[in-house]
């Protein structure tokens, strides 16, 4: 470990704010992942800029982590700095309402569930779809998260990001290139720090009922009783990944303690002391078998990080 590098990070963040050898299994919904060399939680965009500039200067790799809900971290961990955007970057500010549309500013570290609840509580509609997605806003914008017919692109106005050179930029909706599980943020390696949205006025009781119904559907259809990284594969055009996997006879297919869920085949779950190596093997097996049977290529929605 480079002690001078650690001291420089502590100069940015404060004493004792840099964790060394932090197990990433504690920070991912899959509950897997080895140690990161360094693990930090900045409290502001300015701190992120300083950290990015420091990492670039010292040629130390870094990775931006939110809630860890769409990621598989290798068993041997990550060589570099994990920058988690969460606590300290969770602001929610309600702005002016014009012609029934209310502007809402939110920090990248806020959970989608919390933002959806706050938006609904103000009688605003259009974010109900996000109430059960287990992630933070920054990650959701990066991948244009969506569910039950709604997507981030439906309600976002702009996003404030940090580019690879450590510069803060504001990108308008038209330039975000929001598509199915993709964006210019993902393509160009930007870091989301905050964003503004607009929502229409609605009836609180109807909005809350819709959220309750969507969350009930989620509980009924998804294997939420096991650790997972959410939906494992992207939806291939013209097909549903879960149905292809089920039709391939892979429900319950297992490698070690990693299994294709029998409740929803689009999910890969950790049913015990699963390893990232086994999870990656299972994902590769499923992709290969589905392609052999149906000539449809399944691409992982889950991101792979670190050393396996």
84 pLDDT more than 80: yes
| Separation of alpha carbons 69 and 136, rounded Å | 9
Which sequence positions are flagged as catalytic? 181, 231, 301
Output the CA torsion sign for 240, 133, 146, 120.
positive
Q: What are the tens digits of pLDDT across the range 239-266? A: 999 999 999 999 999 999 999 999 999 9
Helices (DSSP H) in the chain: which residue ranges? 3-13, 45-58, 112-121, 137-142, 184-188, 204-221, 241-247, 276-294
**Angle, alpha carbons 192-58-276 (nearest 5°):** 60
Q: What are the tens digits of pLDDT across the range 177-236? A: 999 989 999 999 999 999 999 999 999 999 999 999 999 999 999 999 999 999 999 999
Rounding to the nearest 10 degrees, give the CA dihedral for residues 67, 140, 37, 43. -80
Q: What is the mean pLDDT of residues 64-83?
A: 96
| Separation of alpha carbons 178 and 7, rounded Å | 39
């Amino acid at each position: 470990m480079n002690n001078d590098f650690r001291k420089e990070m502590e100069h940015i963040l404060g004493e004792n704010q840099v964790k060394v050898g932090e197990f990433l299994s504690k920070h991912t919904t899959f509950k897997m992942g080895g140690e990161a060399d360094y693990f930090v939680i900045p409290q502001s965009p300015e701190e992120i800029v300083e950290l990015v500039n420091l990492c670039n200067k010292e040629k130390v790799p870094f990775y931006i982590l939110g809630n860890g809900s769409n990621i598989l971290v290798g068993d041997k961990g990550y060589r570099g700095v994990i920058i988690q955007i969460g606590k300290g970057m969770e602001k929610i500010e309600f702005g002016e309402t014009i012609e029934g549309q209310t502007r809402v500013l939110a920090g990248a570290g806020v959970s989608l569930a919390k933002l959806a609840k706050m938006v609904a509580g103000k009688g605003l509609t259009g974010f109900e779809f996000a109430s059960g997605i287990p992630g933070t806003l920054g990650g959701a914008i990066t991948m244009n998260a969506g569910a039950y017919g709604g997507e981030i692109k439906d309600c976002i106005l702009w996003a404030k990001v940090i580019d690879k050179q450590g510069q803060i930029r504001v990108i308008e909706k038209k330039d975000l290139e929001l598509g199915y599980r993709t964006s210019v943020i993902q393509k160009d390696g930007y870091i989301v720090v905050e964003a503004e949205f607009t929502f229409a006025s609605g009836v609180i009781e109807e909005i809350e009922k819709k959220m309750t119904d969507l969350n009930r559907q989620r509980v009924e259809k998804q294997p939420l009783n096991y650790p997972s990284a959410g939906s494992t594969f992207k939806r291939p055009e013209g097909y549903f990944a879960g149905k292809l996997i089920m039709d391939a006879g892979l429900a319950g297919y297992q490698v070690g303690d990693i299994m294709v869920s029998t409740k929803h085949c689009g999910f890969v779950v950790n049913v015990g002391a699963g390893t990232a190596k086994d999870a990656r093997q299972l994902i590769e097996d499923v992709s290969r078998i589905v392609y052999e049977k149906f000539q449809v290529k399944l691409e992982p929605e889950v991101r792979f990080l670190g050393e396996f």
